[in-house]
Amino acid sequence: MSIIPRKFLMIAIAVVVVSTLAVAAIVGLQVRLGRDDVHRPHLAVFASGETHEIGPIQYCDPDGIRETVNEFADQPMDTPQQQNAFNNALSEVCDEPQMPTIIEADAGDTVQISLPKEMTRNSLRVQALYEPAESEDAFFDQTYAPGDRHSISLPVTDEEGRTLGGIQFDMPTVFVDNTGAEQLGTFATWVMFVDIAPQPASS
């Protein structure tokens, strides 16, 4: 099985809901409660003859986050108690983080990913890691504007013979912090690891 380097794994499972100068403790927040009435988009992933439906490893209701940020915008965040109150309010509009999905693919295959309309209407950041990751070109990192892409295709083996280890999708959004400055955050993340199928022994 492919192993994602720690620095990539941390990107995958530490979803930054909102980045503000006043609330640095949000990074890596482990939220406890989600909203069941919020629709969570799913990716349709096709690899090696199999189709997988993959949901986000964490999803936050963007409207709920904006409401929470606005509610706390004029309040100080100088003490742990004040930060905890903000974190607890955010936990009510975010899902508990889930483990990434593992898909199996053949070394000579292409992973094809269809994006739901909820994702194509938003900006989208796509990251992929090829292993062994010994140089910068082993990382694919591209951000698309709304409407730019309806699908993504990635070869399982790149031109250098490296194999695809993991893919991550982030839906970014912009928030205004309590200083009035705009901050970029992520309200939804999808992650899949790729397990390269063993090749049959030659006769």
* Domain locations in the chain as residue ranges: 6-196
Rounded CA gap, 116 and 152, in Å?
12
pLDDT tens for the chain, 203 residues long, are: 333 333 344 343 333 333 322 232 233 333 333 445 567 899 999 998 999 999 999 888 877 877 887 788 777 778 888 888 888 887 888 888 888 999 999 989 999 999 999 899 989 999 998 987 666 667 888 999 999 999 999 999 988 888 999 999 998 877 666 666 777 778 889 999 999 877 665 55
- The CA-based dihedral angle spanning residues 177, 77, 84, 25, taken in that order and rounded to the nearest 10 degrees: 60
pTM for the full predicted model:
0.73
